[in-house]
Amino acid sequence: MAFLADVLSRVKPSATIVMTQKARELKASGVDVISLSVGEPDFDTPEHIKEAGIEAIRRNETRYPPVSGIVPLREAISKKFKRENGLDYKPSQTIVGTGGKHILYNALLATLNPGDEVVIPRPYWVSYPEMVGLCGGTPVFAETRMEEGFKLQAAELERVLTPKTKWLILNSPSNPSGAAYSRTEMKALTDVLMRYPDVHVLTDDIYEHLTYGDFEFVTPAQVEPGLYDRTLTMNGVSKGYAMTGWRIGYAGGPEKLIKAMDFVQGQQTSGAATVAQWAAVAALDGPQDHLARFRAAFQARRDLVVSMLNQANGLTCPTPEGAFYVYPSCAGLIGRRTEGGKVIETDEDFVTELLMAEGVAAVHGSAFGLGPNLRISYATSDAVLEEACRRIQRFCGSLR
């Protein structure tokens, strides 16, 4: 009798975590490595949020919280959805989890039966299909094209929907591409969904506050109120508030689904860390002026990286609307040889040889379901990004 569960054989390790760990190991051995593989803001958590966490400790807010979250945080979430997204979720329609990933996993665990299909546009965050598989569902991939900004088109969505489809997972702005849907683009998708009343929408809005220029963020239930009762709107404080290690995600949705997620979470982890929840209250209810500073810095970095990568021989890098990633194509370099004679046959070969030759860690696009591309995070300083891009240009120029 096998000791480990069969389901583990159907799940792949996170490529982003693997590459980040490889970069750490090389760095620890003395190699000069620049890691552009991790999706984490390099900014510190704003001071008023840190102080709220410290004050919570001093008030002895250190006991078990309610499974779905402390009341002040659920109220703050409800106000946030109304203020920023025009969505009316009562506190009882909200739930707090240990990060956005936890929220997504619990929603899938609470709803999927064997044979249920979940539509996931490519490229996708590496964890979506693995979570669907772990929860007993079947991931179904919808195709996107670089020429269309890596955005799901209405005709493609209609093509992949079947009577078995239970969820569409929609991430805007996207990890890994940075693509974000305008109101018009989102309306084209919601118009399709209105014709399929049994399909639910799981939105991952974690990068909501990181959009650039005049782009206006929208979320599906905001664009199409008819989807309100079958949408779970997920968000969190990790990216826009630089609170990755605080581990707080949240969602608003139909009360029946929220209760089911509460039931699952009650037998799984119970409530998220109480101190972190009080800090999240300060994040959502407190000053938001840091967001403009974050956005300005990230936009400048995006423009720098896009410009320098497009000057690299063989790379083509679109300009994304949001998040802090670019997703350039290395198709022009497939078939080339390194100075050591290694043939670049895949995007995974490209990022592996780039790391070995120049000490720059990126993640291959095939891990996100669409290659030959690579994901580069620009959540680091201008100086580091300039040096990394110079190394990438040098590596691309060395291929023959």
Long-range contacts formed by 381-390: CB under 8 A, 24+ apart: 381/42, 382/300, 382/301, 382/304, 384/34, 385/36, 385/301, 385/304, 385/305, 385/308, 386/304, 386/308, 387/34, 388/34, 388/36, 388/360, 389/304, 389/305, 389/308, 389/309, 389/312, 390/308
Confirm if 333 and 350 have CB atoms less than 8 A apart.
Answer: yes
Q: What is the pLDDT of residue 39?
A: 83
Percentage above 70 pLDDT, the chain? 100
> For 372, which DSSP code?
S
Q: Which of 254, 285, 316 is the last residue of a domain?
A: 285
Predicted pLDDT at 9: 81
Average pLDDT over residues 336-359: 96
pLDDT greater than 80 at residue 248 = yes
Residue 296 lies inside a defined structural domain of this protein: yes
User: Which residues constitute the domain of residue 91?
Assistant: 60-285
The pLDDT value recorded for residue 10 is 77
Query: Looking at the predicted structure, is the pLDDT value of residue 20 above 90?
Result: no
**Quick check: is 50 in a domain?**
no
> Do 170 and 259 have their domain in common?
yes
Q: Are residues 304 and 252 in the same domain?
A: no
- 328: nearest Cα among 308, 343, 342: 308
| Domain end (from 265, 285, 305) | 285
Q: Is residue 53 part of a domain?
A: no
Shared-domain flag, residues 356 and 260: no
For residue 240, give the CATH number of its domain.
Answer: 3.40.640.10
The pLDDT tens digits of the residues spanning 276-296 come to: 999 999 999 999 999 999 999
Q: Quick check: bond before 123 cis, omega within 30?
A: yes
pLDDT at residue 15 is higher than 90: no
pLDDT confidence of residue 2: 87
Mean predicted lDDT score pLDDT of the chain: 96
Residue 366 lies in a domain: yes
Which among 285, 300, 329 is the end of a domain?
Answer: 285
Average pLDDT of the residues in 181-192: 98
Mark whether 190 and 333 lie in a shared domain. no
Same domain, 171 and 247: yes
> Does one domain contain both 298 and 274?
no
Q: Model confidence over 60-116: pLDDT tens digits?
A: 999 999 999 999 999 999 999 999 999 999 999 999 999 999 999 999 999 999 999
What backbone torsions phi and psi does residue 291 show, to the nearest 5 degrees? -60, -40
Predicted pLDDT at 218: 98
Q: Look at residue 52 and tell me if it is in a domain.
A: no
In the chain, how many domains are there?
Answer: 2
Residue 196 covered by a domain = yes
Residue 24 predicted with pLDDT over 90: no
**Does this model's pTM top 0.75?**
yes
pLDDT at 16 > cutoff 80 = no
Is residue 49 domain-resident? no
In this structure, is residue 218 part of a structural domain? yes
Q: What CATH number does the domain containing 353 carry?
A: 3.90.1150.10
Question: What pLDDT is attached to residue 31?
Answer: 84
The string of pLDDT tens digits covering residues 292-327 is 999 999 999 999 999 999 999 999 999 999 999 999
Q: Are residues 365 and 321 both part of a single domain?
A: yes
Which of the four pLDDT bands, split at 50, 70 and 90, describes residue 55? very high
Regarding whether 224 and 180 lie in a shared domain, the answer is yes
- Asked whether residue 209 falls in the same domain as residue 339, the answer is no
Tell me which residue has tokens 């994040």.
Answer: 283
Across 33-52, average pLDDT: 94
**pLDDT tens-digit profile of 139-157?**
999 999 999 999 999 999 9
For residues 22 and 119, membership in a common domain is answered with: no
Which of the four pLDDT bands, split at 50, 70 and 90, describes residue 28? confident
Residues 130 and 226 in one domain: yes
| pLDDT confidence band for 27 (50 / 70 / 90) | confident
Residues 278 and 345 placed together within one structural domain of the fold:
no
- % of the chain surpassing 90 pLDDT: 92
